[in-house]
Copies of this chain bind each other. A is one copy, B any other.
Amino acid sequence: MSQVYDRVALIGLGLIASSMFWAIKRAGLAGEVTGFARSAETRETAREIGLCDRVCDSAAEAVEGADLVVLCVPVGAMGAVAAEIAPVLKPGATVSDVGSVKKDVIDAVAPHLPDGVHFVPAHPLAGTEHSGPRSGFAELFENRFTLIVPVEGTDREAVERLEQFWQGMGAKTEEMDAEHHDLVLAVTSHAPHLIAYTMVGVADDLRRVTDSEVIRYSAAGFRDFTRIAASDPTMWRDVFLHNKEATLEILGRFTEELFALQRAIRTGDGDHLFDYFTRTRAIRRGIIEAGQDTDAPDFGRVKRG
């Protein structure tokens, strides 16, 4: 893979940015990668582990001369960062982001950007339960989708270059409009996360079942919830506050259906339950066929290190 940008600046150095750095280096996608994080401790760690070719002490310094600037900060911080870097952006540069919400991010970032700078929002659908500069690894985006959400009138060349860049990191890219993105993500990610957080919270509150019992017996289904309920709290707070409408809509439908199933349990309507469970099974099969998971009999988990 050859170089796609001369200089790339990563603003925010958490799981996504650190994985991007290692993936960029592996594929030789950029001449130089600069980085900035608000926290001095994170910058210190980044220097220590060789994360970024150059770690800068201000966002402006990192951004200077960059052909691509990627905002990798929590969704709620995007607007302020955009305002800060706007005056030093190189004419013709592309600004992108990796936020899990698109409509609000576009509204917050776009107004700050000067003419002649291309804004191409993006969202890599990849993550782990870990966060921070040490959590990244080059393979994070492999065989995962990165959704590209161009705003109206964006330069096609800038869009395609960014797609090429993500493909170089191993991702499959798809274009989607912001509103649809936010609804799709409310279904596939935001509502499931809130639900998982809630179930884990209920288990913790229940006085008659100890935390230690919940933990010991978690393999019975609960484990899959704790996995997604361990993600970064700041990131998720911002996601819910900034994709409020779509998330609340999906949660409304969810509680409606959950009440119907609870009623079926209460009244002993076994047919309703059976039919429902049979229908949901098919979706799982589709996910395996689409290559987004494995059907290995131990759920694909093996012990490591």
Contacts and interface: CB of A to CB of B under 8 A. Distances in A.
A251 B277 CA distance: 17
A79 B188 CA distance: 40
B292 A215 contact: yes
A209 interface: yes
Contacts of A212: 286
A198 interface: yes
A270 B237 contact: yes
B280 A197 contact: yes
Interface string A266-292: 101010011011111101111100101
Given A199-B195, A261-B197, A216 B292 contact: yes
Contacts of A265: 194, 240-241, 244, 247-248
Contact of A300 (B205, B261, B302): B302
A276 B128 contact: no
A49 interface: no
Interface string A206-225: 10110111111111111111
A101 to B, nearest CB: 12
Interface string A104-117: 00000000000000
A295 B129 contact: yes
Contact of A188 (B221, B292, B303): B221
A294 B129 CA distance: 11
A294 B277 CA distance: 28
B234 A201 contact: no
A276 B237 CA distance: 10
A94 to B, nearest CB: 24
Nearest to A254: B202
B187 A202 contact: yes
Contact of A216 (B76, B255, B290, B305): B290
Contacts of A258: 194-195, 198, 251, 255
Contacts of A225: 192, 224
Contact of A189 (B222, B255, B287): B222
A199 B194 CA distance: 11
Contact of A230 (B185, B213, B253, B284): B284
A230 B236 CA distance: 27
Nearest to A244: B265
A290 to B, nearest CB: 5
A156 interface: no
13 contacts: A140-B297, A145-B216, A145-B219, A192-B225, A194-B261, A201-B276, A201-B279, A216-B292, A219-B293, A223-B292, A227-B293, A230-B284, A241-B265
Interface of A: 76, 125-130, 135, 137, 139-140, 144-145, 147, 174, 180, 183-185, 187-206, 208-209, 211-231, 233-234, 236-238, 240-241, 244, 247-248, 250-251, 253-255, 257-259, 261-262, 265-266, 268, 270, 273-274, 276-281, 283-287, 290, 292-305
